[in-house]
């Protein structure tokens, strides 16, 4: 019922670096799509085979039992149940095992008890899985425990796990990137983008640890862009569209919230995601988002400290609502709007 | 705290004297209820929700862990904690903002203000907390109590009355006190919601009571099981002690039950998986179980079979693994050698496979040998009874098999009894046609069908019932039963039988459709083939005979062959009957349904002596008089022979008995 509603995006000449980054991401997405979807399909076929999954689950349970000091209470509990024959837990461990870098590295050389035919089959299938992973763009370009070389810290930003992931990141990159680039310039924008991405990866490794599953996506870098934007516009109003589910005049329209409120909301959301998720299960890399946001905030503070005076910000400060007071709501029919980009009405 | 509407009752005021002053509280600036609702939406969804999500996120992690660890206590604690965090956040937010700022953020956005009705500058902290606690409770009840904003004269729901507060709109976008329509609206809504809630509550209580009863009943049925395969739990209690050694006993039991058809593949899979999770040692028996579990994947199955002999080269399981491999290659001699090498008292599961194999191969003496080695097992009672009957039938010990079958059918549970009686009745029918329905097995089957009509859902039982009705000319009853219980293909068969005498072309067409249906019931298709042989014309008959002669012998092949023999005799093509009879005899078919037509053919071909020899064998097998019903008619009143065999037999008897007397 409430969503940011920034007015349009800048065209190419005014936000070259942003659009170059979008084009580069799109090019990588299109070039790798074919290989990625084929590899992913082949991987899923192997990993979803019940026989392989259950065998892997058994082995992973034995592995956790033998290396219990390195695993959380939850994992040890699941492995105990699996070792007692709980089919559900065996299947669960079977799906999780492939994310555990230590298991994937050491298990092929370890001795396990039980069904030796299934173990042999697991070995053979794991070799096939590794072969496919070596061709999968996410593993080739993404950052994982098996390869933390310096180029991976940058290349991971440009590869995405699917169209939804890609589209979501590009949407926010365009919206906030165009706005930010017009303030700080193309080169600075590029540096902020890349540094945010690198430090987001660092935060992810620090807070979650490396896994066999690769870290991919531009969300860490984009989070940095968004955070820096929010810092630079901290007093400015960010326009939101809202609707209060009441079919009467006056209960829908636009509202301006100070950017620092928006930044707090993002931080809170990512922090909640990080604190509320079990890292063993993967999914959204909230730690990378937090790392990117922290980078953006840090750069923002540095800019303020260096008394960054490019007053693309200043003219807007006079037109925006004063700090600490929320504006009355506009209805959809209200013509008097305070635009965030009033010097370029075409935005 | 004053809950009553002080603006109505003069004597209920606690503070000050008299009624609150209208000018002080600005009661003519009542806040619009929609503004209040919009403010609540903003407070809850925009302000509070993100904060609650953030504060409760560590507890959410604990909740997820508790679900994975299946720790109920931790689950309840973490869920309770999350609830507590949510409630505490809402109450604190409401209370502190009301006390310090005279309104929450949502209310500020809509220019609303919460004021004390006694004109005090600020709502006291205690009042603010009281207000927020009651507000939270009202919101938790789906905001229904908030509807009193439409009925109270100053639009003061309970939380306002509790805290001596009122919500006003100083910007003059206020509303009047509620009119009669608003009051009625609020009362109608509240009454409706209460009524619906009451109905739902009563319904849930009834369902809860029912489910509790069901659970108790279920629990009493289930008893204490191991949580694995129930069939194995039950069989394990009566399993022979000599087979109960080793950790893999349950797997052996599961294998035996699976071989006997008393347990499913899923049951075997569960037992094998459980064994392998709990034992560090490799077990050839478990690998044998896996080989059967993965029987549809030959590559995987073969890997398990090969592993067995690596683990224990001279074990019975290794021998069984080789037998299974030879089965796949149809190397019957090697299979035979494999079973023979087992010696005396092989493991029960291997004996069961041997019995099944030899019965299928029609080597009934060998099957009998393995049957004799098996001690009576309660868990395998159905299997042992059925196969004992099959073996004895195959050995042509008719009297013995009927006695054993009748005894077994008295003691078996209904499911096993139905399986045995339907098999036996069918075989009696192959031999004796309509005469079979006077036999014990068919009478037992009919009785079970009468008491439990739903058994007709089994196509094999339905078929015997249909054949019986044909013999007894009872079409009406069978039509009634067919409509409710029988499949479409069975109804087609019934129609084909009706048209057999009236319109043989239609009958032939229907029977052909049944035979060509790839998903059809095998027994029904077999009977359809038999009926088709009786119904089709001579040219088609001879064409079909040529095809049949080139087929591989099997039990159904033998039944079809017997039908050919009867039809060929009817057409007086005795040479062809003789040819078919010899072929069946070489294939190991020496049943009555082969020998009887052979006797007739030999007689009419002039080989009376041979015919008499065969007839004598038949007489020894069946010392009781023949059935006196005709092939498709009612039981005749007299005892004169009506079938061709009976006529020939009587003639031969007169001729050769007379000669022997001389």
pLDDT digits (tens, 9 = 90+) for B248-269: 889 999 999 999 999 999 999 9
**Nearest beta carbon to residue B282 from set A84, A116, A245:** A116
Alpha-carbon span B315 to B327, nearest angstrom: 19
DSSP state letter for A330: B
The whole-number pLDDT of residue B221 equals 55
Query: pLDDT tens digits, residue range B285-319?
Result: 999 999 999 999 999 999 999 999 999 998 889 99
pLDDT reading at B145 higher than 50: yes
Alpha-carbon span B507 to A38, nearest angstrom: 55
DSSP sequence for B116-130: ETT--SS--HHHHHH
Task: Determine the residue of chain B that is closest to A281 in CA distance.
Answer: B64
Query: In Å, what is the CA distance from A156 to each residue of A153, A167, B46?
Result: 6, 16, 34
Q: Do A92 and B68 touch (CB under 8 A)?
A: yes
The whole-number pLDDT of residue A266 equals 85
pLDDT reading at A153 higher than 80: yes
CATH homologous superfamily, domain A2-31+152-319: Rhomboid-like (1.20.1540.10)
Alpha-carbon span B363 to B356, nearest angstrom: 10
Q: Do A244 and B61 touch (CB under 8 A)?
A: no
Q: 3-class DSSP state for residue A2?
A: strand
Chain B contact present for A268, CB below 8 A = yes
pLDDT reading at B89 higher than 90: yes
pTM of the model: 0.74
Q: What is the 3-state secondary structure (H, E, C) of B406-428?
A: HHHHHHCCHHHHHHHHHHHHHHH
Query: In Å, what is the CA distance from A145 to each residue of A283, B102, B361?
Result: 16, 55, 60
Give φ, ψ of B92 to 5 degrees: -65, -45
Distance from CA of B50 to the nearest CA of A (A): 7
Bridge partners of B167, per DSSP, are B114
**Nearest beta carbon to residue B41 from set A82, A87, A245:** A245
pLDDT reading at B124 higher than 50: yes
| Mean pLDDT score of chain B | 84
Instruction: Please state the rounded mean pLDDT for residues A75-104.
Output: 90
DSSP state letter for B153: T
Instruction: Please state the rounded mean pLDDT for residues A323-330.
Output: 31
> Any idea which of A15-19, A226-230, B498-502 has the lowest mean pLDDT?
B498-502
Query: pLDDT tens digits, residue range B215-227?
Result: 665 555 555 445 5
Residue A246 or A293, more confident:
A293
pLDDT band per the 50, 70, 90 thresholds, residue A10: low
Kind of pairing between the strands at B113-116 and A252-258: unpaired
Chain B contact present for A35, CB below 8 A = no
> Any idea which of A199-213, B51-65, B125-139, B358-372 has the lowest mean pLDDT?
A199-213
The whole-number pLDDT of residue B639 equals 44
Please count the other Cβ atoms lying within 10 Å of the Cβ belonging to residue A196: 30
Chain A contact present for B593, CB below 8 A = no
| Mean pLDDT score of chain A | 81
Instruction: Please state the rounded mean pLDDT for residues B436-464.
Output: 86
Of the CA atoms within 13 Å of residue A309, those in its CB half-sphere come to 2
Please count the other Cβ atoms lying within 10 Å of the Cβ belonging to residue A120: 13
With vertex at residue A320, the alpha carbon angle to CA A317 and CA A321, rounded to the nearest 5 degrees, is: 125
Positive or negative, the Cα torsion across B236, B240, B246, B251? negative
Distance from CA of A247 to the nearest CA of B (A): 10
Residue A347 or B236, more confident:
B236
Q: 3-class DSSP state for residue B498?
A: helix
pLDDT reading at B2 higher than 50: no
Bridge partners of A254, per DSSP, are A241, A330
pLDDT reading at A316 higher than 80: no
Helix, strand, coil shares of chain B, percent, nearest 5, are 70, 0, 25
Distance from CA of A29 to the nearest CA of B (A): 33
Nearest to A298 by CA among A212, A202, A158: A202
The whole-number pLDDT of residue B661 equals 55
Nearest to B256 by CA among B322, B376, B350: B350
Chain B contact present for A84, CB below 8 A = yes
The whole-number pLDDT of residue A5 equals 59
Alpha-carbon span B414 to B599, nearest angstrom: 39
Distance from CA of B95 to the nearest CA of A (A): 21
Element counts in chain A: helices (H) and strands (E):
14, 3
Number of residues in chain A: 347
The whole-number pLDDT of residue A92 equals 92
Chain B contact present for A27, CB below 8 A = no
Instruction: Please state the rounded mean pLDDT for residues B635-640.
Output: 41
pLDDT band per the 50, 70, 90 thresholds, residue A184: confident
The whole-number pLDDT of residue B28 equals 61
The fraction of chain A above a pLDDT of 90, given in percent, is: 40
Q: In the sheet where A237-243 sits, what is the strand order?
A: A2-4, A237-243, A252-258
Bridge partners of A258, per DSSP, are A237
Which parts of B223-347 fold into alpha helices (H)?
Answer: 230-237, 249-259, 265-278, 284-293, 298-311, 316-328, 332-340
pLDDT reading at A155 higher than 80: yes
Distance from CA of B39 to the nearest CA of A (A): 9
Please give the distance of CA B198 from its chain centroid, rounded to a whole number: 38
Pick from B74, B277, B279, B305 the residue to mutate for testing the A interface (most A CBs within 10 Å).
B277
Q: Do A329 and B109 touch (CB under 8 A)?
A: yes
Contact call for residues B593 and B562 (beta carbons, < 8 A): yes
Alpha-carbon span A164 to A160, nearest angstrom: 9
A247: chain B residues, CB-CB within 8 Å: none
Contact call for residues B622 and B593 (beta carbons, < 8 A): no
Q: In B, residues 493-522, which contact A (CB 8 Å cutoff)?
A: none
pLDDT reading at A292 higher than 90: yes
Q: Do A271 and B53 touch (CB under 8 A)?
A: no
Range(s) of chain B covered by CATH 1.25.40 = 230-463
**Which range has the top average pLDDT, A185-199, B335-349, B409-423, B609-623?**
A185-199
pLDDT reading at A129 higher than 90: yes
The whole-number pLDDT of residue B259 equals 94
Instruction: Please state the rounded mean pLDDT for residues B572-589.
Output: 90
Distance from CA of B115 to the nearest CA of A (A): 21
Q: In A, residues 205-264, which contact B (CB 8 Å cutoff)?
A: 244-246, 248, 251
Distance from CA of B254 to the nearest CA of A (A): 17
Q: Do A251 and B54 touch (CB under 8 A)?
A: no
Alpha-carbon span B109 to B179, nearest angstrom: 27
Chain A contact present for B296, CB below 8 A = no
Contact call for residues B29 and B172 (beta carbons, < 8 A): yes
Chain B contact present for A279, CB below 8 A = no
Locate the DSSP E strands across B388-522.
none
A51: chain B residues, CB-CB within 8 Å: 294, 300
**Nearest beta carbon to residue A244 from set B38, B56, B286:** B38
State chain A's maximal CA–CA distance in angstroms.
76
The whole-number pLDDT of residue B272 equals 92
The whole-number pLDDT of residue B34 equals 86
Chain A contact present for B300, CB below 8 A = yes
Please give the distance of CA A128 from its chain centroid, rounded to a whole number: 29
Helix (H) or strand (E) run with residue A193 in it = helix A186-208
The whole-number pLDDT of residue A179 equals 81
A87: chain B residues, CB-CB within 8 Å: 270, 273
Task: Determine the residue of chain B that is closest to A270 in CA distance.
Answer: B54
Distance from CA of A84 to the nearest CA of B (A): 6
Alpha-carbon span B79 to B57, nearest angstrom: 11
Pick from B57, B169, B287 the residue to mutate for testing the A interface (most A CBs within 10 Å).
B57
Q: What is the 3-state secondary structure (H, E, C) of B72-117?
A: HHHHHHHHHHHHHHHHHHHHHHHHHHHHHHCCCHHHHHCCCEEEEC
Contacts 24+ apart (CB under 8 A), A76-80: A77/B68, A77/B69, A77/B71, A78/B68, A78/B69
Give the list of residues 6+ apart from residue A141 with CB closer than 8 angstroms, or none: A28, A32, A152, A155, A156, A158, A159, A216
Chain A contact present for B65, CB below 8 A = yes
Residue B214 or A326, more confident:
B214
**Which range has the top average pLDDT, A290-299, B1-10, B489-498?**
A290-299
pLDDT band per the 50, 70, 90 thresholds, residue B148: confident
Query: pLDDT tens digits, residue range B28-68?
Result: 678 888 889 888 988 988 889 989 999 999 999 999 889 88
Please count the other Cβ atoms lying within 10 Å of the Cβ belonging to residue B575: 12
> Any idea which of A234-238, B216-220, B505-509 has the lowest mean pLDDT?
B216-220
* Annotated domain spans of chain A: 2-31+152-319, 48-135
Distance from CA of A295 to the nearest CA of B (A): 21
**Which range has the top average pLDDT, A227-241, A302-316, B333-347?**
B333-347
Contact call for residues B162 and B1 (beta carbons, < 8 A): yes
Query: pLDDT tens digits, residue range B384-393?
Result: 989 999 999 8
Q: Do B42 and A244 touch (CB under 8 A)?
A: yes
Contact call for residues B414 and B422 (beta carbons, < 8 A): no
Chain B contact present for A116, CB below 8 A = yes
DSSP state letter for A324: T
Fold of B230-463: 1.25.40
């Amino acid at each position: 019922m409430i969503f940011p509603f920034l007015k349009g995006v800048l065209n190419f000449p005014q936000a070259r670096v942003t659009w170059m980054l979008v084009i580069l991401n799109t090019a990588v997405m299109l070039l790798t799509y074919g290989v990625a979807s084929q590899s992913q399909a082949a991987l899923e076929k192997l990993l979803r085979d019940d026989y392989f999954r259950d065998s892997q689950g058994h082995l992973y349970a034995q592995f956790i039992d033998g290396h219990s000091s390195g695993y959380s209470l939850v994992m040890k509990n699941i492995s105990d149940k699996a070792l007692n024959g709980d089919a559900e837990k065996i299947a669960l461990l079977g799906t999780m095992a492939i994310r555990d870098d230590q298991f994937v590295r050491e298990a092929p050389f370890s001795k396990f008890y039980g069904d030796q035919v299934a173990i042999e089959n697991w070995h053979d299938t794991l070799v096939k899985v590794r072969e496919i992973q070596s061709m999968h763009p996410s593993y080739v370009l993404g950052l994982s425990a098996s390869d933390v070389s310096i180029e991976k810290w940058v290349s991971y930003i440009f590869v995405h796990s699917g169209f939804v992931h890609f589209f979501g990141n590009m949407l926010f990159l365009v919206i906030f990137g165009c706005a930010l680039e017009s303030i700080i310039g193309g080169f600075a924008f590029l540096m902020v983008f890349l540094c945010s991405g690198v430090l987001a990866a660092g935060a992810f490794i620090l807070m979650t640890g490396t896994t066999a599953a690769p870290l991919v996506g531009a969300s860490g870098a984009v989070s940095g862009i968004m955070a820096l934007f929010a810092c630079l516009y901290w007093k400015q109003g960010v326009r939101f569209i809202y609707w209060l589910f009441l079919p009467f005049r006056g209960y829908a329209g636009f509202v301006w919230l100070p950017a620092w409120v928006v930044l707090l909301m993002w931080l809170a959301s990512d922090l909640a995601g990080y604190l509320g998720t079990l890292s063993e299960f993967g999914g959204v890399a909230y730690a990378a988002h937090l790392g990117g946001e922290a980078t953006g905030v840090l750069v923002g503070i540095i800019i303020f400290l260096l008394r960054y005076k490019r007053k693309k910000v200043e003219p807007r400060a006079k037109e925006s609502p004063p700090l600490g007071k929320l504006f009355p709501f506009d209805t959809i029919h209200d013509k008097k709007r305070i635009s965030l980009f009033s010097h370029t009405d075409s935005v | 705290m004053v809950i009553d509407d002080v603006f109505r009752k003069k004597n209920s005021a606690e503070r000050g004297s008299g009624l609150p002053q209208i000018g002080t509280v600005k009661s003519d600036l009542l806040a619009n209820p929609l503004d209040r609702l919009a403010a609540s939406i903003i407070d809850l969804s925009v302000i509070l929700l993100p904060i609650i999500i953030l504060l409760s996120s560590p507890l959410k992690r604990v909740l997820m862990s508790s679900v994975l660890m299946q720790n109920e206590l931790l689950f309840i604690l973490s869920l309770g904690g999350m609830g507590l965090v949510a409630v505490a956040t809402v109450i604190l937010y409401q209370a502190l903002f009301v006390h310090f700022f005279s309104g929450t953020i949502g209310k500020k956005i809509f220019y609303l203000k919460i004021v004390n009705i006694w004109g005090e500058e600020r709502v006291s902290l205690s009042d603010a907390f009281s207000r927020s606690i009651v507000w939270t409770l009202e919101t938790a009840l789906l905001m229904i109590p908030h509807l009193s904003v439409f009925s109270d004269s100053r639009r003061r729901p309970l939380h306002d009355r509790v805290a001596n507060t009122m919500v006003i709109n100083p910007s003059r976008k206020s509303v009047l006190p509620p009119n009669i329509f608003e009051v009625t609206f609020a009362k109608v809504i509240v009454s409706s919601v209460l009524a619906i809630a009451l109905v739902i509550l009563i319904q849930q209580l009834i369902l809860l009571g029912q489910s509790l009863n069901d659970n108790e009943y279920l629990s009493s049925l289930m008893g204490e099981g191991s949580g694995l395969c129930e069939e194995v739990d039950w069989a394990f209690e009566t399993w022979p002690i000599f087979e109960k050694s080793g950790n893999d006993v349950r797997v052996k039991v599961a294998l035996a039950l699976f071989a006997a058809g008393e347990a499913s593949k899923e049951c075997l899979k569960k037992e094998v998986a459980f064994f392998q999770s709990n034992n560090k040692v490799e077990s050839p028996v478990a690998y044998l179980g896996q080989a059967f579990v993965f029987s549809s994947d030959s590559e995987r199955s073969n890997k398990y079979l090969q592993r067995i002999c690596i683990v224990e080269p001279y074990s019975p399981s290794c021998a069984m693994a080789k037998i299974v491999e030879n089965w796949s290659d149809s190397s019957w001699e090697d299979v035979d050698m494999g079973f023979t090498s087992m010696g005396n008292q092989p493991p029960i599961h291997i004996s069961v496979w041997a019995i099944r194999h030899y019965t299928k191969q029609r080597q009934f003496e060998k099957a009998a040998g393995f049957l004799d080695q098996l001690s009576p097992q309660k868990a395998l009672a159905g299997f042992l009874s059925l196969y004992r009957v099959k073996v004895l039938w195959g050995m042509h010990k008719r009297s013995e098999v009927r006695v054993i079958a009748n005894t077994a059918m008295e003691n078996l549970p209904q499911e096993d009894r139905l399986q045995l009686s339907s098999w036996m009745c069918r075989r009696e029918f192959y031999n004796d046609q309509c005469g079979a329905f006077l036999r014990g097995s068919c009478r037992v089957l009919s009785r079970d069908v009468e008491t439990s009509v739903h058994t007709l859902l089994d196509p094999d039982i339905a078929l015997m019932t249909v054949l019986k009705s044909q013999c007894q000319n009872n079409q009406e009853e069978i039509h009634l039963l067919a409509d409710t219980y029988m499949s479409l293909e069975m109804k087609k068969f019934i129609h084909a039988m009706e048209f057999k005498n009236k319109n043989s072309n239609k009958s032939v067409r229907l029977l052909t459709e049944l035979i060509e249906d790839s998903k059809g019931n095998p027994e029904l298709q077999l009977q359809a083939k038999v009926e088709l042989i009786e119904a089709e014309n001579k040219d088609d008959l001879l064409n079909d005979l040529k095809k049949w002669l080139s087929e591989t012998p099997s039990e159904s092949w033998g039944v079809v062959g017997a039908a050919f023999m009867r039809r060929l005799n009817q057409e007086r093509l005795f040479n062809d009957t003789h040819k078919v009879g010899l072929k069946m005899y070489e294939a190991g078919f020496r049943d009555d349904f082969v020998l009887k037509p052979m006797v007739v053919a030999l007689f009419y071909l002039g080989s009376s002596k041979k015919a008499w020899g065969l007839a004598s064998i038949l007489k020894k097998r069946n010392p009781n008089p023949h059935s006196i019903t005709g092939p498709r008619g009612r039981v005749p009143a007299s005892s004169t022979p009506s079938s061709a065999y009976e006529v020939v037999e009587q003639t031969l008897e007169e001729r050769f008995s007379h000669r022997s007397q001389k």
